[in-house]
Structure 1
Amino acid sequence: MENAFQPINPIALDLGVLQIHWYGVIIGLGALLGLLLAVRESERRGLHKDTFVDLVLFAIPIAILSARAYYVIFEWDYYSQNPEQIPMIWQGGLAIHGGLLGAFITGAVFARIKKISFWKLADIAAPSIILGQAIGRWGNFINQEAHGGPVTREFLEGLYLPEFIVNQMFINGVYYHPTFLYESLWNLAGFAVLMLLRRANFRRGELFLTYIIWYSVGRFFIEGLRTDSLMITETLRTAQVISIVLIVAAVAVLIYRRVKGYSQVRYLEKGE
């Protein structure tokens, strides 16, 4: 199959001694927009305006390291033979579940030190996180990764996708499912849902738990289409297993907190 289209150059700016990759630019943009949203909302919820700025100074570096570590661990057969590639995060290979784990642990420690409710921080951060994920998936698009199995050009055109997406999904002579796009759209829909639910004055912690459930449901089904999944066994995809665990855990925590009376404070209340 022939196609005269040239893939998008993954390098946004080449300064000779320094190359800036679109992957990093896009992930950085997602993080920045998420931070601005969280800062604005945290002030409304009675927190100091610098709370989330202070938090991300720790959370983002730790999330990047944990995301990379998670990916490398599950691809150790490759990286043990190519250790020099472990730091090359601009080529991709940041596992979202690993990044979320690092960020959540950092948030829990931060909340304890600052004597702020972790659940309050998590509720405020939830829309920002899923927005950042929606934007970040476009970094995978630039790198032509995180795609699904082979499809025809007619199939992609039948989705009424812009030409630049159809062409970028032409990789080594084959068209592929744009699973990065499916997940980005799912996350954007989740962002809209969470923004609406903020007004519903949920009990504290439940906005964050809703985010966990929403993201995990979408990730489970979309992951089944991908060809580059991290695997636990030959048949078990890591992200699908983690998604099921997170859905069950989030529902259990939600019920437990209600039964035990730990979630009496409402989202819109400003008390700690």
Structure 2
Amino acid sequence: MELVINRVAFQIGNLSVKWYGVNMAFAILLATWMAINEGKKRQIIADDFIDLLLWMVPLGYVGARIYYVIFEWPYYSQNPGQIIAIWNGGIAIYGGLIAGLLVLVVFCYKRMLPTFLMLDIIAPGVMAAQVLGRWGNFVNQEAHGAATSLSFLQSLHLPDFIIQQMKIGGTYYQPTFLYESALNLLGLIIILSLRHRQHLFKQGEVAMTYVMWYAVVRFFVEGVRTDSLMLFGTIRVSQALSVVLFFGALALWIYRRKVVKPKWYLDGSGLKYPYSRD
């Protein structure tokens, strides 16, 4: 039996609740809890993060779907009825991150909250959600790498349940979900261990560290995957965007340090707690 883990976690009547959805729900809750907990220390109240979540999650999924559809337009232009069929798969995390960023910028403007500080507070939670989220791909046996051998997987000293789940249609595949999840976990540990050090991060730099770390991870992992979205048939979209994001974040970091001279991350928002926006 090749499919070791049943994709359906449990049934509620005729409704099948899949492990992917359960996994994503836990990831979102974890990210929210982390943001609320850190936000209290930086003078941002919990209600702001909950309100932001209610906008960011659904619109993030819309952005993830639009991004995917754009780069698979030859198919969707011929099958327009499938554009909204997100239940058949087809979302891209970069699209979700871009949409989430736009939502956050508008939200912070409306609530008169410091945008870069909010990004700093939220970024580690997003990273943690990505660490968990990739295990949904594992259960679904998707987002994997090229075909490989049993001996190669065993040489990585992986648990047997991972090796067996990577056997799809009689062929073993590279567990790229695990590569990305593990590397993001390492980045998360580093960020969490450094962000509270005095006079290390200016506001915005925790988020930019996340962006640069993930861009590097995704660039190399994407090179191993077999399901990449392509541009002009030769360029992997996620690799190209990773390069842009890495150097864009680095340039922004240097510019803000030299020109803007923002406050230290640990200085917080400077808002009175609780505060009014009237």
Q: TM-score, normalised on structure 2?
A: 0.92
Measured after TM superposition, the shift of residue 16 of structure 1 is: 4.4
Which residue of 1 is the match for residue 276 of structure 2? none
Aligned-partner Cα distance in 1 for 2:114–2:72: 36
Q: Contact (CA 8 Å) 2:94, 2:238: kept in 1 or not?
A: yes
Q: Tell me which residue corresponds to 2:267.
A: 269
**Deviation sequence 1:101-144 (CA, Å, 0-9, x none):** 00000000011111011001000011001100111011111111
Q: How many residues align?
A: 268
Question: How far apart in 2 are the matches of 1:181 and 1:85?
Answer: 30
CA offset at residue 172 of structure 1?
1.1
Equivalent pair of 2:230/2:236 in contact (CA under 8 Å) = yes
Equivalent residue letter for 2:233? E
RMSD: 1.4
Structure 1 counterpart SS, 2:230:
coil
Residue correspondence of structure 1 range 17-36 to structure 2 within 5 A: 17-36=14-33
- Check the 8 A contact 1:179/1:222 in 2, yes or no: yes
Corresponding residue number in structure 2 for 1:143? 140
Matched, 1:245 2:244: yes
For 1:196, which of 148, 173, 193 is the aligned residue?
A: 193
Alignment of 1:94-243 (within 5 A): 94-201=91-198, 202-243=201-242
User: 2:84 maps to what in 1?
Assistant: 87
Q: Work out whether residues 119 and 204 of structure 1, in 8 Å CA contact, stay in contact via their aligned partners in 2.
A: yes
Distance 1:269 1:133, change over 3 A: same
Q: Which runs of 4+ in 1 moved over 6 A?
A: none
Q: 1:139 to 1:91 in 2, by over 3 A?
A: farther
Contact 2:154 2:163 in 1 (8 A): yes
Once structures 1 and 2 are overlaid, which stretch shifts more, 84-93 or 204-213? 84-93
Structure 1 gaps of 5+ residues are none
Q: CA deviation at 1:87?
A: 3.4
Query: Contact 2:27 / 2:129 at 8 angstroms: preserved in 1?
Result: yes
Question: Structure 1: how far apart are the matches of 2:10 and 2:83?
Answer: 22
TM-score, normalised on structure 1? 0.94
| Residues in 2 aligned to 1:90 and 1:165: alpha-carbon distance in whole angstroms | 25
Whether the aligned pair in 1 keeps the contact of 2:68 and 2:95 (CA below 8 Å) is: yes
